[in-house]
Amino acid sequence: MSQEPRRALLASPTQAAKAAEERLRAAYDFVPVEQADMIIALGGDGFMLQTLHSMLEGHRIMPVFGMNLGTVGFLMNEWRLERLDQRIEAAKAFKVNPLRMTVDTVDGERFSIPAINEVSLLRETRQTAKLEVHVNGRTALAELVCDGVLVATPAGSTAYNLSAHGPILPLGSGLVALTPISPFRPRRWRGAILPENTVIRFSVLDPVKRPVSAVADQREVRDVAQVEIQIDRGTPLTLLFDPEHTLDDRIAAEQFIA
């Protein structure tokens, strides 16, 4: 008989999540995170991203089963108190490879930050950003004038990317979306769909007059000079979903929402 996984329970600070945490702790056994084999996360998509980033920073990766007590809950399962053991045993696992953003700032600092959903470059002032776009070492666009641009994973393609009119990417498609945000020149350029092994680099043109920030999910670096983005295959993340409502089903369903 296989041993049941040792579960840790994490909850966002909202009233609903804390109330659910109290009920779960009364009904099931949990261990501290450092002793766990998996995590139960209570909250919304933002809290799921926070949980995943905490694991990446702590270099201890384990599967996460989320239950939605937030707003959208795209990365979460339905909240239910009952039959948690059976749900976890039947859950379907999805591997998610995060992006890795390597940033060089105008002042010469360098940062390396992961992103599960997307990396976005955004203008810092009323001046539009001017960017040179490189794909696998080749100049794809000599000058992109825009409010910003983003690179999204399939898991993140229904988030900011979709709001910027980017494509929805099926999980497991092996693709990333390169999507402009309010492009001015080239006016008709709507972005690109690229293989996930692509290395994308943005060079900021005139970074002093037209400063640009780079954001990996929720972590921002300001006054950037150059940003390189690629998939980080060394730290795959595992999300667990109920069989009847899996992430790939949700991504497919989003394409039919008016």
Residues marked active site are found at 45
Which is nearest to 115 in space by CA: 62, 70, 64, 52? 52
Q: Is 107 labeled as ligand-binding?
A: no
223 is in an annotated binding site: no
Classify 48 as helix, strand or coil.
helix
Helix (H, G, I), strand (E, B) or coil at 170: coil
How many Å apart are CA 166 and CA 215, to the nearest integer?
17
Q: Is 163 annotated as a binding residue?
A: yes
| Pairing mode of beta strands 237-241, 138-152 | unpaired
56 has binding-site annotation: no
Q: Give the Å distances, CA to CA, from 76 to 23, 31, 65, 138, 177.
A: 18, 21, 7, 38, 22
CB 203 within 8 A of CB 231: no
Q: Is 112 annotated as a binding residue?
A: no
28 belongs to an annotated ligand binding site: no
Query: DSSP assignment, residue 34?
Result: G
Any known ligand binding at 155?
yes
117 in a known ligand binding site: yes
Angstrom distances, CA of residue 2 to CA of 35, 36, 53, 77, 89: 18, 16, 29, 25, 11
Q: Is 84 annotated as a binding residue?
A: no
Element (H, E) at 150: strand 138-152
Residue 217 marked as a ligand binder: no
Binding region:
45-46, 117-118, 147, 155, 158-163
Binding region for NAD(+):
45-46, 117-118, 147, 155, 158-163
